[in-house]
Every structure is written in C-alpha cells, then in structure tokens.
Amino acid sequence: MIEVVVQSTDAGKKVHRFIRQLLPGVPLSGVYKMLRTGRVKRNGKRVKTEDVLQTGDTVQLYMAETDFKASTRAPKKYGGVSREIDVIYEDSDMLVVNKPAGLLVHGDAGEQKDTLVNRVQAFLYDRDVRDRDAAEDRPTVFSVAPVHRLDRNTSGIVVFSKNAATASKLSDQIASHEVQKWYLAVVRGTIPPSGTIDAALRREVGNRTVVAREFDERSHSALSRYTRKAAVGRTSVALVELVSGRTHQIRAHFQSIGHPLWGDVKYGGRTSALAPQDASEGEQEHQWLHAALMVLPDGRRLFAPLPKQFRDTLQQLGYSAEQLRMVETL
C-alpha cells in the first residue's frame, strides 16, 4: 500500500483529478477503475470520484511500490522539449524566469511544444524526478503555471506560481495593480525627459490595439509613465512603468505619441537596418521591449538583465558603454 499526504497545493481538488495527475502513467479509465474497485481510499475510507480532498488528508493507494514509481513518471510527456531557461529567482512559491524574445509563453495551434510553459514544466519535472529518487516525500500534483504573460517578441520577467494559493494571490495583486512593472523600450526619435501617456485602448480585428477616439464599452483605460534613460541619433531608450496592463499597451501608446518602438512593424516602427548580424530573418524585425523590473507588494525586486541581442542592438545604434550602464541601472 502507498500513502500520500495531501499538501495545501492540492487542497480542493476532486479525488479523480488528484489521482490522474499523481499517476500520469495510468490512463483515465484506469483511474476510474481504481476508484470503482476500492483501490483508492481517503483516511482509510472508500471515496467517490467527485469527493474533494483537503490539506492533511491521507490517500491510500492499493498498489505495489514498483507499480507506483512507474506510474508517477511520464517521460514521453516532455520528450524533445528544451530545458533551457534563465532562472532569476526561485522560492517555495514561485519561479521567475528571464524569457528570451521569440519564444511564446503559451503554445498556439501550430506551436505546442517549444513554449516557455513547457520548458519550465520540463525543467522542474526533471528536477523533481531527481529529488524524488532520493527522498521519501511524494510529489505534489499542482502544475506550475505563469501568472501573467509577455508577447512572443518581448523579453524579460515571467513569474510562474508553484501552487494554487500563490497563483490566485499573485493574479489578484496584478489585477489590482499592486505589482509594479517597468519595461525598457527602444523607441524612434528623441522623447522628452519624462512623460505620462493616459489614453484609453481598445482591440481591433487582427489582434491590434489602438488608442480609442471615443470611450465606449470596447475601450479600457490605460496609463503609462516613462523616463528617458538615454538617446542617440534617431532613437531613445525609455524606462516605462506599466501602471495598467492592457495588451500591447506600450506599443500602442508610444505609437500614439509619434515614437513607435524600434523595429515594431505592427505599430509603425519598421526597420531592419541595424539588427544584430547573427540574428535570423525572423528576429530582425520586432519590437525592442524588455520586462526589466517587477516589484512585489512585499517589496521584493525581481530584475531581468538585458539579453545579449538587445545589448548588441543598442551598441549598433551607437549607445556607448556608459550609456548602456545607465540603461541597465534601475
């Protein structure tokens, strides 16, 4: 018999879902058969499929240790998935990574495998397997998940929650603007030393965000504050505080004041003249936007250094080493 103590991360789950996630090597029909035949009990009593588990419950599985170990592993689930992630902070509740430009956070219909979510889950899965082999504790069932997202070609901070309580708490804090977020953006032209862009936005056909001429039910208020960190020739680097968090907010806001992001084809910033020499064709034209700093309500500062490709582009645009230091000092 195998005994698994339900942790707080899995409290509130229905028993069939808990078993399904605990034993990914067992098909759903097998899980239902285990429940139907009494091979799963909670605190020594038989359970029903829809019963809800609570923290501290002991789930008994009537199966051999060797079968249990085999059933908890699903190596094919992450076969071929890259484990390459840049971890900038981790504790028992969250994992924070520096996302590279060009990588989706979530998969779309044509890109289900190489996404940031899959990389993080594969990375933690491998580590969990190693730790489990040397420990007596059973694995948690909660699947790590991002609490916010970035555009494919925006680099920088993405926070993943490790349990349901943290996911709910951080999502609420982000929605209520208790989490402060700053981005570094390369924009066309010389912007003022500082400014505020207070302009409502709305989504249009084609996944494009525009400044709303009139406020209506499709419009959402949006506020961005910026400081010019440096300027050279035809460009400036802005440190932008995203007070609200609308889709494509920074890109649409800077286009609206005549300073679209450098390389942002979708929002009027077309250029390919100064892309890094080793960049692929697909990387040569996209917005230069980096989620650099996040401050949590408890005061913790999460900082993501500029990617090499971003720094290379600034150097090619003419920014000096001293200006680069100014840009990265937040």
CATH number of residue 247's parent domain: 3.30.2350.10
Number of domains present in the structure of the chain: 3
CA 160 to CA 85: how far, in whole Å?
12
Q: Say if CB 15 and CB 52 are below 8 A apart.
A: yes
Does one domain contain both 321 and 228? Answer: yes
Work out whether strand 155-161 and strand 289-295 pair parallel, antiparallel, or are unpaired.
parallel
Does one domain contain both 100 and 215? Answer: no
Backbone angles phi, psi at 129, to 5 degrees: -60, -45
Q: What is the span of the domain harbouring residue 133? A: 74-176
Does one domain contain both 139 and 232? Answer: no
pLDDT at position 132: 53
Q: Say if CB 284 and CB 277 are below 8 A apart.
A: no
What tens digit of pLDDT does each residue of 166-207 get? 999 999 999 999 999 999 999 999 999 999 999 999 988 777
Instruction: State which of 71, 102, 118 marks the end of a domain.
Output: 71
Query: What DSSP state is assigned to residue 104?
Result: -
Does one domain contain both 11 and 109? Answer: no
Q: Say if CB 328 and CB 310 are below 8 A apart.
A: no
pLDDT one digit per residue (tens) for the chain, 330 residues = 999 999 888 888 899 989 988 888 888 889 999 999 999 999 999 998 889 999 999 999 999 988 888 887 654 567 778 899 999 999 999 999 999 999 999 876 555 578 999 999 889 888 876 555 444 444 455 678 999 999 999 999 999 999 888 999 999 999 999 999 999 999 999 999 999 999 999 988 777 888 887 777 788 899 999 999 999 999 999 999 999 989 899 999 999 999 999 999 888 876 645 544 444 444 456 899 999 999 999 999 999 999 999 999 999 999 999 999 999 999
Does one domain contain both 50 and 117? Answer: no
Which residues are annotated as catalytic? Answer: 151
Work out whether strand 58-61 and strand 2-5 pair parallel, antiparallel, or are unpaired.
antiparallel
Instruction: State which of 71, 101, 123 marks the end of a domain.
Output: 71
Q: Could you tell me which residues are beta bridge partners of residue 184?
A: 239, 290
Does one domain contain both 210 and 290? Answer: yes
Does one domain contain both 256 and 187? Answer: yes
Q: Is 311 helix (H, G, I), strand (E, B) or coil?
A: helix
Does one domain contain both 227 and 309? Answer: yes
Query: What DSSP state is assigned to residue 102?
Result: T
CA 200 to CA 203: how far, in whole Å?
11
- The percent of residues in the chain predicted with pLDDT above 70, rounded, is 87
Does one domain contain both 184 and 300? Answer: yes
Tokens 């908890």, located at residue: 72
The answer to whether the pTM exceeds 0.85 is no
Does one domain contain both 198 and 289? Answer: yes
Instruction: State which of 176, 205, 230 marks the end of a domain.
Output: 176
